[in-house]
Amino acid sequence: MSTKKFNDNNFIVEKIKNFRSKAIKKNYIYEEKQLNKPISFWIKEDRLLKKKGKEFTIILRTRGCSWALGPGGGCSMCGYIQDSTIEKIDQNHIKNQIDFAFQEKISEIIKDEEDYVLKIYNSGSFFDDDEISEGTRDYIYKKIAKTPKIREVVIESRVDYVTRENLTQMKSALNNIYIEVAIGLETVNDHIRNVYINKGLFFKDFLEVIHLCKNYGIGVRAYLLFKPPFLNEQSAIDDCVSSILKLAELKVNTISINPLNIQKNTLTEYLFYQNRYRPPWFYSLFKCIVKACHERDILKEVRIISSPSGAGSKRGIHNCLKRECNEIFLTKLKNFVLTQDIKFLIRSDKDYSCDCLVKYQLQKRYI
């Protein structure tokens, strides 16, 4: 991977490091019983590769993201390090977290007629041995292989840890299950990614991982950050449309669009409190997806999903703060994700009747 310096804007990097340092100092000391349970886990309706199904999501508590803990300082919008242990965690705790989630949900999964996608998140890199060891990963794979309802598996990793060895181990253990490696690309624009987001990732390194995964018959899920800091609404639309079209051209399997939500002790929270950043509008997200799909019939080639955190609140994607306005758009977005039918996002006068539309149209090039 490239050794070139990622971000030449020392002011932004130092700000991010400062907030990260404060977050780590405030970090909570977890008791033994807390370390044996995942941060969260749930089952809900979701879109599988070719049909509707269910997701079984497990969020593991590990030591945290190496990029956030290292000299790079982490990403400008990410506060997930605050859910981590910071110190290295006993791998038996990770195994116990997996066991706990499965024990709580396995009967529901077995009885269900739907097929499942298992999503394992650890707010870092699944393939990073300092977070989850090779032995623990093998333990998890065996657990998955014994659950016939699980048809798809999604894990997250920085590109640094996506190696031939890690892919070989996973593919060998889960040969009959569709696997996707999710990577936080955020945008195809290197400047936005490495200066505004401080991601520490070059696009050419992402391309190497696509090629590597394809060689192993493993899918790639690209995360796109919708409205990174320092972009207004129109710029966010343009950047995301460009990214969607490029990723479709590269035959990425899934594009997950993540509208930025304000997390504690981050650069974006600092900008938010200074009124220098506003989370995106639903209007913008819909325009972005519709425009990308109209420019090219990409839904036949790639799955586009979006499940916004904090939707409808001041800190998450929202239009105005009227509950009914945001609920209409959130429902339409969920229907689009489940069906992959763009008609749910196309404007209708009935759904665009809120007064906030005028405010949005006036402000979208300035906020």
What's the pLDDT tens digit per position in 96-133? Answer: 999 999 999 999 999 999 999 999 999 899 999 999 99
In a domain, 359, yes or no: yes
In a domain, 251, yes or no: yes
Q: What is the pLDDT of residue 5?
A: 66
Mean pLDDT of 153-160: 98
Our count of domains for the chain comes to 1
| Domain that residue 159 falls in | 10-363
pLDDT at 234 over 60: yes
Mean pLDDT of 74-103: 96
Closest CA to 255 of 243, 265, 267: 243
Sheet holding 40-47, edge to edge: 40-47, 52-59, 116-121, 150-156, 178-186, 219-226, 254-259, 303-305
Q: What is the pLDDT of residue 265?
A: 95
pLDDT at 9 over 90: no
- DSSP annotation of 118 reads E
| Phi, psi (deg, nearest 5) at residue 246 | -65, -40
In a domain, 5, yes or no: no
Mean pLDDT of 147-170: 98
In a domain, 145, yes or no: yes
Q: Are strands 52-59 and 178-186 parallel, antiparallel or unpaired?
A: unpaired
In a domain, 2, yes or no: no
In a domain, 3, yes or no: no
What's the pLDDT tens digit per position in 239-263? Answer: 999 999 999 999 999 999 999 999 9
What's the pLDDT tens digit per position in 40-59? Answer: 999 999 999 999 999 999 99
| Residues linked to residue 79 through DSSP beta bridges, in sequence order | none
Mean pLDDT of 19-26: 87
In a domain, 194, yes or no: yes
What's the pLDDT tens digit per position in 295-308? Answer: 888 999 999 999 99
Closest CA to 71 of 118, 129, 5: 5
* pTM (2 d.p.): 0.95
In a domain, 1, yes or no: no
What's the pLDDT tens digit per position in 276-322? Answer: 999 999 999 999 999 999 988 899 999 999 999 999 999 999 999 99
CA–CA gap between residue 301 and residue 117 (Å, rounded):
20
Question: Which residue in the block uniquely carries the two structure tokens 């479709």?
Answer: 248
Q: What is the pLDDT of residue 28?
A: 79
The mean predicted confidence, pLDDT, of the chain is 95
Cα-trace Rg, the chain: 20
Q: What is the pLDDT of residue 4?
A: 56
Instruction: CATH number of the domain at 311, please.
Output: 3.20.20.70
CA–CA gap between residue 14 and residue 23 (Å, rounded):
14
Mean pLDDT of 314-333: 97
What's the pLDDT tens digit per position in 259-281? Answer: 999 999 999 999 999 999 999 99
Query: When comparing pLDDT for 46 and 348, which is higher?
Result: 46
